[in-house]
Chains A and B, each alone.
Chain A
Amino acid sequence: MIDAWYPVGLISGLTREGRETLLMEQPITVRAGKTGKPEVVTADGRSLPIVERFGHVWTSLGTPEKDLFTIPEADHPERVLVDVGVVRVKCSPLRAVENFLDIAHFPFVHTDILGAEPHTEVEKYDVKIREEEDEVWATKVKFFQPQAAKSAEEGITTEYMYRVPSPTSSVLYKTCPPRPGEWDVICLFVQPLTETLCDVWPWMALFDEDTSMTDLIHFQQLIFLQDRSILENQIPARLPLDPGMETPTRADLTSIAYRRWLKQHGYTYGAELVAQ
């Protein structure tokens, strides 16, 4: 997992003095270099590799085998790109991703926003680990929602796709009411500070001409703060790779596929190997 790319800051938030932060317990400084380009430096002066993408600065403590993933849909010129801003959460970075992949909690955690009783049933959907891209994908996910997006006027059945292209990043594609046939793109990029502390960087690429940037940001922040109160109160803190003390059901298939993929790769930073 040390060779993966991780988000460590907003491109728009870079300063010359820089921001001190942690990546997998290593202190790093993220700053704008003399030419304005981002620099990430460890405490002992080592310069780390950089990618600028999706409004964020990405880096790695190791040697990434491939380039950071892409999201072609996000390149559409009419998309509104939204840097939501960082939220610190006292939880495993892997728990943050697992929660993002979950829809069964919508009626209870995001009541009357992303879901509501009695529309709680989670119908069968498809999940697979795509061998070639080496990514987890969930498709044909559907859920009835009273107010699916800031731009939605009434309840609709929203369709979703979920994608995990790297251990602590996830991309959600959801049906876009003003543009039938297109997907709104909502991302969670998670910076692991330690195994039980992370900085979450949400990011979006939407078709929405009507809602102000402030409202779009507030909406996503509200959703995420509701999730935070869940994330900070789950036992055990690390993500179990053995579900022996849990009761996953078919509705949890995306979470289980994510855990399988982590297990397959030996991505265990923030994971619990034995059921506690």
Chain B
Amino acid sequence: MPDLMPPRRERLEILGEVNSPSFVPWIKRHSGRLGLEASAFSVAPGRIGVTVAGQPDLIDALEVGCLLGPIDVWVSAIDRAPVADLI
């Protein structure tokens, strides 16, 4: 069993036509599927923000899934930035 890569905490900003009510529940479900913690959702016109924590490759997988998302959204880009842990 490989060593667990150090978990990361990142802020994802999902941009585009993303304001369908289906999208936040979709992101919650999909991050749960990937074993990621998803929190601190923010919704503004044209952007959804979420903080996720977990293995880096699985955060990549969440980004990949969100690039498509449910049928009624169009994601034009996803910005990512590390979030420092509060000590």
Contacts and interface: CB of A to CB of B under 8 A. Distances in A.
B61 A241 contact: no
Contacts of A257: 67
Nearest to A249: B61
B83 interface: no
Given A247-B33, A247-B34, A248-B65, A241 B71 contact: yes
A242 B74 contact: no
Interface string A232-246: 000000000111100
Interface in B56-80: 57, 60-61, 64-65, 67-71, 74-75
A273 interface: yes
Given A244-B26, A244-B30, A249 B64 contact: yes
Q: Which of A241, A243, A256 has the most CB of B within 10 A?
A: A243
A218 interface: no
B33 A242 contact: no
B49 to A, nearest CB: 20
Interface string B39-51: 0000000000000
Given A244-B26, A264-B74, A256 B61 contact: no
21 contacts: A241-B71, A242-B68, A243-B30, A243-B65, A247-B33, A247-B61, A247-B65, A248-B64, A250-B57, A250-B60, A250-B64, A252-B64, A256-B65, A256-B67, A260-B67, A260-B68, A260-B75, A263-B68, A264-B74, A274-B70, A274-B71
